[in-house]
Amino acid sequence: MNRFISFLFAAVLSLNFAYAQTTWTADPAHTNARFSINHLGISFVDGEFTKVSGDVIAPSATDFSAAKVNFTIDVNSINTRIEARDGHLKSDDFFNAEKFPTMSLKSVSFKKIKGNKYLLIADLTIRDHSKQVTFAVTQNGGIITDPWGGTRAGFTATAKINRQDFGLKYNDKLPSGIEAVASEVEITINTELVKK
């Protein structure tokens, strides 16, 4: 009998925890994934993916520690302001958007460091390559009530990756040996989350 009561108590606690979780959805009008990459060793080219969707499941309505993060990026939404360059980036030299139309980001862990700073370790999948990437995350401005009565929170996540690790194989070099398009890419993801 004692075992049954213990089991029932544990089940109730588990159920309460599940109901305590809060789902936040990325506002597509205020979410993007930006990147910056060195060109010819002398300048930087930047761009963004304008179609990013995702959600965050947090342990409560006010605490994002140990949240589960799941985002999808539409590769065909790439925008570097130059149509020919966007076309090249969609080709097999880089993303091969026809075969791999989306990228994904799924959290392995999400830990609060201090104040509004978090550390996100996530599985990033580009083309058919997946690697764990560490993001520094800042919560911007806390949790607010927007002008329409919704509840919102904003975050910025930054990381650096080596594009070669993800099969983005373009590798032209200058006579000096400098990469025409650098391997290291700086990533910035900005999102406004809306509480469901």
What rounded mean pLDDT belongs to the chain? Answer: 92
Token pair, residue 181, equals 């398009």
Confidence of residue 13 (pLDDT cuts 50, 70, 90): very low
**pLDDT at 9 > cutoff 60:** no
CATH H-level superfamily of 21-195: Lipid/polyisoprenoid-binding, YceI-like (2.40.128.110)
- The structure tokens 């995702």 sit at 54
List, for residues 27-71, the tens digit of each pLDDT value: 999 999 999 999 999 999 999 999 999 999 999 999 999 999 999
The first and second tokens of residue 51, run together, are 């179609």
* Dist CA 23 CA 64 (whole Å): 10
Better-predicted residue by pLDDT, 66 or 14: 66
**For residues 72 and 139, what is the distance between their CA atoms, to the nearest angstrom?**
20
Mean pLDDT of 143-172: 97
11-20, 56-65, 95-104, range with the lowest pLDDT? 11-20
What pLDDT shows up at residue 20?
78
pLDDT at res. 3: 59
Domain ranges of the chain: 21-195
- pLDDT for position 16: 46
| Helices of type H across the chain | 2-20, 83-90
DSSP code, position 172: -
User: Cβ of 132: how many Cβ atoms within 10 Å?
Assistant: 10
Q: How far apart are CA 45 and CA 39, in angstroms?
A: 6
